[in-house]
Copies of this chain bind each other. A is one copy, B any other.
Amino acid sequence: MASIKSSSHDEAILRARSVFITGAASGIGFALVQEMLVMPSTIEHIFASYRSLDSESGKRLLDLSKTHTRLTLVEMDITCENSIKRAFETVQACLSNLGLHLLINNAGIGDHDTFLTATTKSMELFYKTNAIGPMLVAQDNNLLFISAVLAAWNSLPKTFLPLLKIGKETNYTKGRSFKAAVVNVSSQVASLSSPRTNYFSYGCSKVALNMITRCMSLELKREEIVVIPIHPGSVKTKSNEGGRMNPGDASLQILNVICNLQLNKTGKFLSYNGSQLPW
């Protein structure tokens, strides 16, 4: 897979010291991990969660973790609160006082149905996985990840602030575009302006995820934490075999968007190419 260095985005450097990405055993999640391991970055810790490593890419993720000490695999089912809590404790123990700089809520499910074929069961399953799951991962009322995200900034000794103001012109902080960020992988299918009737239960769950993300962005703006929903493009994955991009190319573009995130983007629905999508 081409690294972001060889793409047209030579300047893109991911200025985050710690990253947690969910749903990393396949598709876009796996491709994001692969790319983060080779791209120019300040990353010291990549936490990659998975529900199962049974897939081919799952086995490759396991192999990657054996050869890259920066990569830690974490078992987590986003539909299970206890599982999320256990994953958090693992990540927190590894990070100690560093905190988390970037959370990519990528785990989710996708499938077709329509208004006429949707059922209570399909609606509930998609909502629980694609909307409530990312909400739980980001919440802090159960000591989950946002508390770690906040710690990332608050734990910096306050006396360093003047030095940081000087340091922002030096290499380490040059181009750092966010203090901490939450990126929720949504879908253009969630756009009420141009809905797709053949992704009914999925679209309902993803538009709710957009609302979750909007509300999160408002709650966390004062902390200067950037929160966005992102459309990853039409990506060829298990649940979208007709996708136009391969996961590697999609992950390059998504990471380029993340590298360029600024606080003025918070709460906006961004596409993989950086453009803003209508709700």
Residues of A within 8 A of B (CB): 81, 114-118, 120, 123-124, 127-128, 131-132, 135-136, 138-141, 190, 192-193, 195, 197, 200, 203-205, 207-208, 210-212, 214-216, 218-219, 269, 278-279
Residue from B123, B131, B205, B279 in contact with A192 in the complex, judged by beta carbons closer than 8 Å: B279
Residue from B115, B127, B200, B218 in contact with A124 in the complex, judged by beta carbons closer than 8 Å: B127
How often does this chain occur in the complex, in copies?
2
Decide if B215 touches A115 in the complex (CB within 8 Å): yes
Please report whether the interface of chain A is mostly helix, strand, loop or mixed according to DSSP.
helix
A109 to chain B, nearest CB (A): 16
Residues of chain B with a CB closer than 8 A to A279's CB: 192-193, 278-279
Residue of B nearest to A210 (CB): B192
Decide if B203 touches A215 in the complex (CB within 8 Å): yes
Decide if B210 touches A197 in the complex (CB within 8 Å): no
Residue from B115, B124, B214, B278 in contact with A219 in the complex, judged by beta carbons closer than 8 Å: B115
**Bound complex: CA A190 to CA B208 (Å):** 9
A144 to chain B, nearest CB (A): 11
**Bound complex: CA A208 to CA B216 (Å):** 17
Residues of chain B with a CB closer than 8 A to A204's CB: 131, 208, 211-212
Decide if B215 touches A197 in the complex (CB within 8 Å): yes
Task: List 28 A–B pairs whose Cβ atoms lie within 8 Å, in order of A's numbering.
Answer: A81-B120, A115-B135, A115-B138, A115-B212, A116-B141, A118-B135, A120-B132, A120-B136, A123-B127, A124-B127, A124-B132, A127-B208, A131-B204, A192-B207, A192-B210, A192-B214, A192-B269, A192-B279, A195-B214, A197-B218, A197-B219, A200-B215, A203-B211, A205-B208, A207-B207, A207-B208, A207-B210, A207-B211
